[in-house]
Structure 1
Amino acid sequence: MSSSRRPDIRGRRARSLAAGGLMLAVVAELSSAGLLGLSGWFISSCAVAGAATFSSFSYIAPSGGVRAFAMARVAGNYSKRLVLHAAALRRIAAARAGLFDRAAATERAQEDGLWSGELLDRSMADADSAGMALIECTTPVAVTAALTVGAVLAIAASTSIGPAVVLAAGVVVMAVIAHRTPGTAREAEQHTRKELRAELVTAVDAWTEIASLGAAEQLAARTTARFTRLDTAREGAGRRRHRAALTTGLIGTATVTATAATGSAPDAPAFVFVALLSLGVLAQAEQLANAAEARAAAKAAHRRLMASGPHSPSAPTAAEMRSWSTEQGIGFADYLLPPMALRPGRVLGATVARGAMLVVTGRSGSGKSTLLRALGSSLRHATEGRDGRPAVAAVAADDHLFAGTLGSNWRLADAALTDDEIDERLAELRLNDSGLTATTSVGPAGRQLSGGELRRVYLGRALARNPHVLIVDEPTTGLDDRTARHVLGILANLPDTTVVIALHDVPVCLESAGHVTRLPLDHTSQEAP
């Protein structure tokens, strides 16, 4: 079976599962309403028959109907939960898979840092909201519609058309009110809460920097203002929900009364049957307000998911740079410096032998980082890794560490690394001098490490990949001269890896190295041949 047909088959299965769950939900609610109405009629009929002197009322058939409705209700509720949650999880999984497919397809955007952790977290939450809309929105609407139709038909058949019409009109009015109730109240409240939570986490994480800036009072005032906005949003949402619930409750009460009063049958069992059946339908219709909020949240989440994704910057794309990678080394040509560079419009090119180093140097704003990102993206498209090794590994200037230990972060590059092997590599980078081991906790985003330690940890993680091409932006940032020379010496002696680094200034230890190819980018330089 071709891979292109598998998503279609999975999509059909997911839709079939959702349809089956909706049918089971309808069956369960119809059984609940039927149980309520039939039980009321049965009890009333028994009471009336017991009060009569001579009565031929038979309780066998109605009691069997009550038991049947009760069993159908239990089985339907259990089955619908299983099926609907399975269908919702499939929708969530599909939405998340689509999100990561788009992220993987926009490789340039990942390298430029536009797929941030915050964007992915928000998109994952949106995927959950879109998937859960099946349970929170679609199911209540479908069940209310089916229950209303069934109750209207049952009331019309057992009494007259009058009470059936009144019940249908009451449900329509409640649906209109629910639809017109602001559905974004919960979303606004959640957005305000998320902003407050993010600020509190940032404040705790960066308290030392905040205190040194003397910004504690300003931050406290801003946080207090956010708390006030959150309380205001909660109160406003609560008032709107209360008004909607009160209105629908009054309409429901009036509808039940009018429905029972317009019945043509004067006997008490019919009156009780119509009243209880109408009450069950209207109780279900009250859930339409929550369904409207869930629908608004799901629509907003869907719009963000479709629109989420980074917009490509004006930097060169992989298609605008010719690059190649062979057993002998790498090369690129026709690279046009972008508009944000100091010398835009210049065309550059270079070749680097296997095991050699290309040094990209120049002052800030000359385009060094942009060139490195474009080269990494282009080489990934130009070649695949050979001998099981990745084609390219890159260390950006603002790389990221996940909360956990050094070992857990480095095993993202090589899952087979042991603690002893990690400790040996830490010693090679002289990180053991700071007491760092594989079990050292790095804290949120690596904030427990210094800037120089972070650069070496990033570099060591990339070296663990053993790539054919290693691209490093500013490898000596935060390092003293002795440690910087040691790190550059490691990079200059990788016999099977071609290294491309960006530096503001080329140190003497690289100036005299015969295997270094300089590609100057500042205003005093010439293009590389």
Structure 2
Amino acid sequence: MKALLPIIRLLLTAEPKSMIRGAALSVIVLLMGAALLGLSGWFITATGIAGLAGIGIAFDVFRPSAGVRFLALGRTAARYGERLLTHDATLRALAALRVTLLRRQVGLDARALARLRGEAELTRIISDVDALDGVILRFVLPGLAALVTHLIVFLALAWLAGWAVAAAVLLGYVPVAVLVFWRLARQSIVPSDQVETQSQALRRGMIDMIRDRQALILRARITAREADLLAIDASTRKMMRALDLSDRNAIAALSVLTAAVTGLALLVGAAFVGQGALDPATGAIGVFVALALAEALPPFARGVADFGRMAGAAKRIGQAPGPIPATAVRPDAKPDEPVLSVDTPELALQLEAGKAAVLTGPSGGGKTSMLMQIAGMAASEGVFILGTRVTEWPDAELRNIVTMVPQRSALIAGTIRENLSLSGETKDEEMWRALAAVALDDVVRARDGLETQLGEGGTGLSGGQARRLTLARALLRKPKLLLLDEPIEGLDDATASRVLTGIRGMLPEAAILATLHRSADHPVFNISQKIDIRR
């Protein structure tokens, strides 16, 4: 429950006026239902008694029947208003929660973002927020409305039919209902949480399998992966059956409770009617009100059954990392210092503006890890950018100085213009210049120019073309230090040479550090360093 409190507070405060009006209408709906059935029971009983007594012609049927119509129509209107207000307010609050969570992820520094898998994080956020849509609608409002309604009905019954009838209804419902809900919570909290957790795992597994299907087929792992997902699905269904059984048992217990309380109200009312303390019509009010109060309990039972799912989602959301605050004092760039200085056990290097260095070494030797340290995306104490330790730079300021192009291309579904625009607001002329620098301008012109549509992840371009497009986007950032991880992998020698020359031509004043398996002797590079962290 502790994890849910901040979420409840956020949802309630997102649209407070709508929530208050919706809560009031929830209580009004239940009160009108109890009043409708109580008045109808009194009216039917009083009319029957008047008919038996032979005074039916003198009995006023107009005002009670008008009251019944008013309560029936008013209850319908209140129910409509309650659903409209509470659902609208809840959906707006959940939208605000999604934005808050996504902004929290965007606000992370590059080190934390590097540890995230975008699709997995997005799937988790969507699933967890969807799990929280019942916090207000199926848990807070039904529980609050049921409690308030029982208290008001207790006072009204005490005034109309006496304290004994009111106590029979209230004390019959509340303690036993609390016991039923407590037992339901104990039985459902674990299955409910596991259903949500395994459902998310199943969705992520399906996404991964579809995305990696070619590799799985080549490794003959597709059948094994399918078996794993079917096992998760079977376990999820088992938990769902256990949850459904607990829910149905609770509803059955509440039905028995309703019958028992109704019978108790009948006995107490009949006893007072027999003693002459109540007339038969008034004594019947408690019976019908007891039946009407049964409407308040099942909605809350559904919320209790989902409590584990909601609490687990709230806990995961509460544990999501928040933005790391930027350094309060911006470090001063020292123009006399090298753009990059590295003094670690694996590498000693100084790189001035306009210079280019290449890191060579065997696969797995630590070249990419070193670039990550220089980019501030991995812990390092021996890396300095413009004379300031890289870990002391605010992330936003560091990104304006250092740009890294990893081996894995990061492109979005959209036009080439939209992909290049991720580097910032840029004119078309600059985009074409960057494309020419990476030997991609002819390919783009042969299609639809900058309006060429790409699919998810850059589908529509070959691997080498996608890599060059990300290089062009990096060039548009115009960094002081450009880090390239295998920028010419998959390119023929002529294209590779043209790309390296184009990069230097586009950024003549930038310091460039690249990792390469070949072309390390290209004229672009002034410095060559061999690195092998495994030594």
TM-score over 0.5 (shorter chain): yes
In the alignment, which residue of structure 2 is the partner of 1:69? 71
Q: Which moved more, 1:402-411 or 1:226-235?
A: 402-411
In 1: Cα distance, 2:11 partner to 2:198 partner: 37
Residue aligning to 1:165: 167
Partner in structure 2 of residue 350 of structure 1 = 350
Superposition deviation, residue 281 in structure 1: 1.5
Aligned match of 1:175: 178
C-alpha change, 1:18 and 1:194, in structure 2 (3 Å) is same
Q: Quick one: structure 1 residues 265 and 80, their matched pair in 2 at CA, closer, same or farther if it must change by over 3 Å?
A: same
Q: Which residue of 2 aligns with 1:150?
A: 152
Taking a change above 3 Å as real, the CA distance of residues 522 and 216 of structure 1, as seen in their structure-2 partners, is closer
Contact 1:183 1:295 in 2 (8 A): yes
What's the counterpart of residue 339 of structure 2?
331
Residues 8-64 of structure 1: CA deviation (Å, up to 9, x unaligned)? 999967445433432232223222332232233334433443444124432344344
Map 1:177-196 → 2, pairs under 5 A: 177-181=180-184, 182-196=188-202
Assess if the C-alpha contact under 8 Å between 1:324 and 1:383 holds in 2. Answer: no
Change beyond 3 A, Cα 1:177–1:457: farther
2:472 to 441, 460, 478: 460
Give the percent of matched residue pairs that are identical in Structure 1 and Structure 2.
Answer: 23
Structure 1 residue aligned with 2:251:
245
Task: Give the Å deviation of 1:503.
Answer: 0.4
Structure 2 CA distance for partners of 1:392 and 1:247, relative to 1, 3 Å: same
Structure 2 unaligned spans of 5+ = 1-8, 377-389
Out of 301, 321, 339, the residue aligned to residue 309 of structure 1 is: 321
How many residues are matched? 498
**Judging changes above 3 Å, is the alpha-carbon distance between structure 1 residues 31 and 351 closer, same or farther for their aligned structure 2 residues?**
farther
Give the secondary structure class of the aligned counterpart of 2:505. coil
Distance 1:278 1:191, change over 3 A: same
Letter in 2 for 1:178: F
Distance, in Å, in 2 between the alignment partners of 1:10 and 1:235 is 30
Contact 1:467 1:497 in 2 (8 A): no
Whether the aligned pair in 1 keeps the contact of 2:413 and 2:455 (CA below 8 Å) is yes
Aligned to 2:410, which of 400, 417, 420? 400
Map of 1:507 onto structure 2: 519
Helix, strand or coil at the partner of 2:514: strand
- The 1:369/1:246 distance shift into structure 2, 3 A limit, reads same
Number of the residue aligned with 1:273:
285
Q: Give the equivalent residue in structure 2 for 1:40.
A: 41
1:142 to partner: Cα distance: 0.5
Is the Cα contact below 8 Å between 1:366 and 1:522 reproduced in 2? yes
Determine the structure 2 residue equivalent to 1:106.
Answer: 108
2:261 paired residue among 246, 252, 255: 255
2:6 matched to which residue of 1? none
Q: TM-score, normalised by structure 2?
A: 0.77
Q: CA offset at residue 383 of structure 1? A: 8.9
Distance, in Å, in 2 between the alignment partners of 1:234 and 1:484 is 56
* 1:64-100, Cα deviation, whole Å (9 max, x unpaired): 4334434543443333334323432453244334424
- TM alignment of 1:84-123, pairs within 5 A: 84-114=86-116, 116-123=118-125
Give yes or no for contact 2:157–2:166 (8 Å, CA) kept in 1.
yes
| 2:203 alignment partner AA | R
SS in 1 for 2:506: coil
User: Cα–Cα, structure 1 residues 231 and 133, in superposed 2: closer, same or farther, change >3 Å?
Assistant: closer
Question: Following superposition of structure 1 onto structure 2, how do residues 283-432 of structure 1 map, counting pairs within 5 Å?
Answer: 283-309=295-321, 331-333=339-341, 337=344, 343=345, 350-353=350-353, 356-364=355-363, 367-377=366-376, 378=390, 381=393, 391-403=401-413, 406=416, 408-413=418-423, 429-431=438-440
Q: Deviations over 1:462-495 (max 9, x none)?
A: 3455556544333223333333222222221124
The CA deviation at 1:439 is 6.2
Residues 1:228 and 2:234 are matched in the alignment: yes
Q: Secondary structure at the match of 2:410?
A: coil
Hey, what's the Cα distance between the residues in 2 that align with 1:502 and 1:350?
14
| Separation in 1, partners of 2:531, 2:331 | 19
Which residue does 2:490 correspond to in 1? 478
Report SS of the residue matched to 1:492. Answer: helix
- CA 1:124/1:223 → structure 2, altered by over 3 Å: closer, same or farther? closer
* SS of equivalent residue, structure 1 residue 289: helix
Give the superposed CA RMSD: 4.2
**AA partner of residue 34 (structure 2):** A
Q: Is the 8 A contact 2:195 2:309 kept in 1?
A: no
| Residue aligning to 2:206 | 200
Contact 2:134 2:303 in 1 (8 A): no
The CA deviation string for residues 304-342 of structure 1, in whole angstroms up to 9 with x for no partner, is 112123999xxxx998xx976588997245x665xxxxx
Deviation at residue 107 of structure 1 after TM alignment: 0.3
Query: 1:485-518 deviations in whole A, cap 9, x for unaligned?
Result: 22222221124762544304462554x337x455
Q: Alignment partner of 1:280: what SS?
A: helix
Structure 1, unmatched stretches of 5+, are: 1-7, 338-342
- Mapped to 2, the partners of 1:81 and 1:460 lie a distance apart of 52
Deviation at 1:287, TM superposition (A): 2.0
Q: Does residue 492 in structure 1 map to residue 504 in structure 2?
A: yes
Q: In structure 1, give the amino acid aligned to 2:473.
A: R
Q: What one-letter code is carried by the residue in structure 1 that aligns with 2:240?
A: R
Describe the SS at the equivalent of 1:183: helix
SS of residue in 1 equivalent to 2:90: helix
Could you tell me whether the CA contact under 8 Å between 1:380 and 1:392 is conserved in 2? no
Q: Taking structure 1 as reference, are residues 162 and 10 closer, same or farther at Cα in structure 2, changes over 3 Å only?
A: closer
